[in-house]
Copies of this chain bind each other. A is one copy, B any other.
Amino acid sequence: MPQNATETAPTTQLNRRQRLILAGRHLFAEKGYSAAGVREIAAEAGVSIGLIRTHFGSKAGLREEIDRQVIAQIEDLCSRASEHLGTEALDLLVEDAVEWVERERDALLYVRAALMEKTPGSQALLRQLLEIMRRFVALNRERGLLQDDVDEEWAATFLVIDFLGPAVLEPFSEEEFGMSMYHREMVKRRSAFMNRVVTRGFMKS
């Protein structure tokens, strides 16, 4: 039977499994894969160590499952923006990304941490981001929204870097900028700046 979705989840299988995933995602994101131990993960999830083996086979299996879920979230995140064009689509992407980060901060920090270790999962994650940005650039070119003679492959890479950049800086953001990279005010300024850059640049030639 389905249980209600309260936070203090009881003892059903799905809940414990999902709690392990969330705890693993949190600790992998915070300390890195190697530094996060299975006992620590199990403790944070409030279950015993053996469950990791039961559900995921091993610590690596847990990571693979986390990778799958996070990749699905990214796909989801970009779905709305991918139906639009030009800077409007970028605005939508930023908007959805902010909402996503506020809702699932650990997922973002997990993406960040995953990219630091070259695993099949992280490779898939990056490839997905690249594909999304390539499609975006191609679509804009077709609609005549790209300037002439643009290196499209680098434009897509540029967008990926720009998407990941704030995530990379996020752990240092509080000290360096006084607030999170995903704070509303920060996002607004950054969004304005990036819109300006992609359409006009910021330096005189």
A residues at B contact (CB < 8 Å): 31-35, 86-87, 112-113, 115-118, 122-123, 126-127, 130, 140, 144-147, 150-151, 153-155, 157-158, 160-162, 164-166, 168-169, 171-172, 175-177, 189-190, 192-194, 196-205
Contact = CB atoms under 8 A, between A and B. Distances in A.
A34 B113 CA distance: 13
14 contacts: A32-B116, A34-B35, A87-B205, A130-B176, A146-B204, A147-B202, A153-B177, A154-B189, A155-B193, A157-B177, A162-B165, A164-B168, A197-B197, A198-B201
A169 B159 CA distance: 13
Nearest to A204: B145
Number of identical monomers bound together in the oligomeric complex: 2
B199 A199 contact: no
A75 to B, nearest CB: 18
A50 to B, nearest CB: 24
A158 B32 contact: no
Given A86-B204, A130-B176, 18 more contacts: A32-B34, A87-B203, A115-B168, A118-B172, A122-B172, A123-B172, A144-B204, A146-B202, A151-B189, A151-B193, A153-B177, A154-B189, A157-B169, A158-B197, A197-B198, A199-B201, A200-B201, A201-B201
